[in-house]
Chain A
Amino acid sequence: MTITVDLSPPEAAAPKIGGPLVEVAGLTRRFTLPSHFLARSKPVLHALNGVDLTINRGEAFCVVGESGCGKTTLGRIIMGLLTPSGGKISFDGTQINKLSESKRKPFRARMQMVFQNPYASLNPRRTVIETLAEPVRALCPEMTAEQRRNRVQTVMAATGCDPAWLPRLPHEFSGGQRQRIAIARALVTEPDFVVADEPVSALDVSIQAQILNLMTELRRVRGLTYLFITHDLGVVRHFGDRVAVMYLGQVMELAPVAEIFARPRHPYTQLLLDSIPQISGGTFDKPRPPSEPPNPLRKPTGCPFAPRCSHATPQCRAERPQLLPAGDAHVACHAVEGGRID
């Protein structure tokens, strides 16, 4: 059986971007790790180190970075799955990170999440109908059983899930079908905002295209706002409106997607773009000496990218650069700030 989603022409696909929906200010998160049995103090991992972001209504905001850059932690903190060590998170004008669980609940219905691995994110013992009805039961208690059923059916249709799937268990589905079910589960409470953490990374290319098209279509029809977390710049270029490039818990560059690809300013952004294998070839022909891997345990003094950066000066190692406007972008780099990189 094949499922097709109606894909409207591109001119209809330009969603309206409104005012701020999610605001994150000075967000930090530290994890204390278990210590070596001989060590005096426990090592501290700085997963997020002062992140400021504003995500506008109707926007597809991407966060891109390599493993350990804090992108997943950021998504989880915004969703309330982790508590921040410092800073604040506002949703639709209300600060939500200090709310009690009962006050937070209405916001949980409005913010939902899609995870990377649909093999792990669906409960293997629950049928599709149980998986989809559960969030409605928990977060929209005013709805009757009849309304719940209608809601589930509407969302199933919108996400290209066959109604015949309802009584079946996750193991009966392929990866792409499972991710559709996971997206349906996220949409069943009719959220305004969806955090998608690497939603297509575990999928094969042909399935990845199906899911990305579905997410684009849902955004157009439902006016969804996305925080799209990924390591794949090809996906960012296709899917995003704005993108934040993160490195070791900090935003290095924040810009409209077209601008990042046309004119990457931060040396790290340039390195990322320069590392993408190209269908046209040429990326791997340059010799590349081994780079010093990012160490999330290092004390956050100076610019986190300085150890790998060819433009680094003593100032970069001592003083942390601020995210400042540069053309249409915001860049945290002393060399850009000082005009050494244009």
Chain B
Amino acid sequence: MSALLEVQGLEVGFPGPRGKPRLALRGVDLTLGRGERLGIVGESGAGKSMLGFAILNLLPPPGLVVGGAIRFDGANLLRLRGRAMRAIRGKRISMIFQDPMATLNPVMTVGAQMVETLAAHERIGARAARKRAIDMLAAVQVPNPDKRFDAYPHQLSGGLRQRAVIAIALLTEPEIVIADEPTTALDVTIQAEIMALLLRLCRERQVGLILITHDLGVVAEVTERLMILYAGRVVEAGPTRALIDRPRHPYSAGLLAALPARANPGEALHQIPGSMPGVGDLPEGCAFRPRCERAYARCYIEVPDLGPDETDPVRNHACYLPLKDGP
């Protein structure tokens, strides 16, 4: 199976002092097959949102892609501009953001926004567009879809708004949906409803999903493969289950061990000392080294590349002294 989306050596930079760019992403590789669900996990500032924005050429200025390639179905997305990019963005790759109220236009009805999306990407008559939109609202289980079609975003609850956003994202039958923290603004019971819906629709419609989140529980539930970002680099990637059960990189292991839900009540949580460095003040060698209890001389000098695991070649990690299976 050839990859539908392939990112190679992506570097995203922001202008820094003396004209030297500060790299928010350094050498990020990513592949996504048709209908595959990939999770991207990292702490705030790790660069996970930048990755989503870069794929769709939506980097907030003055951010720029300064290196690497992004190929989607044979086309290099970094070369596409204007009409050619719009034929992909919002049509074949769509995006779901964190806050539905900021995504939806408050002065347009939900239905008008759906029809507008369809009209922008297809030649479709008003009546057919309306029908497609209402069918889609029904598919995301919005109650009374023909009435909600005429509702303004503020008339819907947070959960229904995010359902409407998902409906808009899936309306053009995209091949990939990039969802950036889609349920972070929602309560836990509503999060469960929305994620169950998104998971089911992606499975039924064979839509590829890139789920960007800080929540390891959510990616464990939804994704097949997982990438862990730290300070702009991928530190570990592999099948979700294997990575969570047997992390290789000390950072992934530390994150998993720090989860309160996994600790015994009353016992101290595992803590990673210190905090993630900003992109402007990375240490020499491995960026995680100052917080790593396994670091040795080499980690101070060289930056480890993301390479295949010795025992399991479908997994990758960027560590000179990875953890092994077993206790």
Contacts and interface: CB of A to CB of B under 8 A. Distances in A.
Given A176-B275, A275-B189, A205 B196 contact: no
Contacts of A258: 265
Mostly helix, strand, loop or mixed at chain B's interface? helix
A111 to B, nearest CB: 25
Contacts of B196: 283-288
A291 B261 CA distance: 26
A158 interface: no
Interface string B270-283: 11111110000000
Contacts of A290: 141-143, 159-160, 163, 193
Interface in B232-264: 241, 244, 254-256, 258-264
A289 B221 contact: no
Interface string A262-301: 0000000001101111111111111111110100000000
A174 B187 contact: no
Contacts, number: 156
A212 B259 CA distance: 11
B80 to A, nearest CB: 34
Contact of B271 (A209, A233, A239, A275): A209
Given A176-B275, A205-B214, A271-B189, A7 B268 contact: yes
A281 B189 contact: no
B43 A276 contact: no
Interface residues of B, number: 56
A237 B260 contact: yes
Nearest to B199: A284
Contacts of B221: 277-278, 281-285
Nearest to A268: B189
B314 interface: no
B193 to A, nearest CB: 4
Contact of A67 (B187, B241, B266): B187
Contacts of A208: 258, 260
A237 to B, nearest CB: 6
A205 B258 contact: yes
A257 interface: yes
A10 B129 CA distance: 62
Contacts of A284: 192, 195-196, 199, 221-222
A276 B260 contact: no
A181 to B, nearest CB: 14
Contacts of B275: 174-177, 204, 206-207
A280 B157 CA distance: 30
B37 to A, nearest CB: 11
| Chain A: interface size category | 35 or more
B258 to A, nearest CB: 4
Contact of B269 (A213, A232, A276): A213
Contact of B44 (A4, A204, A279): A204
B191 interface: yes
A231 B186 CA distance: 11
A210 interface: yes
Contact of B191 (A175, A237, A275): A275
A175 B200 CA distance: 36
B215 interface: yes
A204 B43 contact: yes
23 contacts: A3-B273, A10-B267, A67-B187, A205-B43, A206-B275, A207-B43, A210-B271, A210-B272, A213-B271, A233-B261, A235-B260, A237-B261, A237-B265, A238-B265, A275-B189, A275-B192, A277-B191, A277-B217, A277-B220, A285-B199, A289-B193, A293-B157, A293-B190
Interface of A: 1-4, 7, 10, 13-14, 66-67, 174-177, 204-210, 212-213, 216-217, 231-235, 237-239, 257-258, 271-272, 274-291, 293
Given A278-B221, A288-B196, A289-B141, 20 more contacts: A2-B291, A4-B273, A13-B267, A66-B189, A175-B275, A176-B275, A206-B43, A207-B43, A209-B260, A210-B272, A212-B269, A213-B271, A231-B187, A233-B261, A279-B262, A280-B220, A281-B221, A284-B192, A286-B196, A290-B159
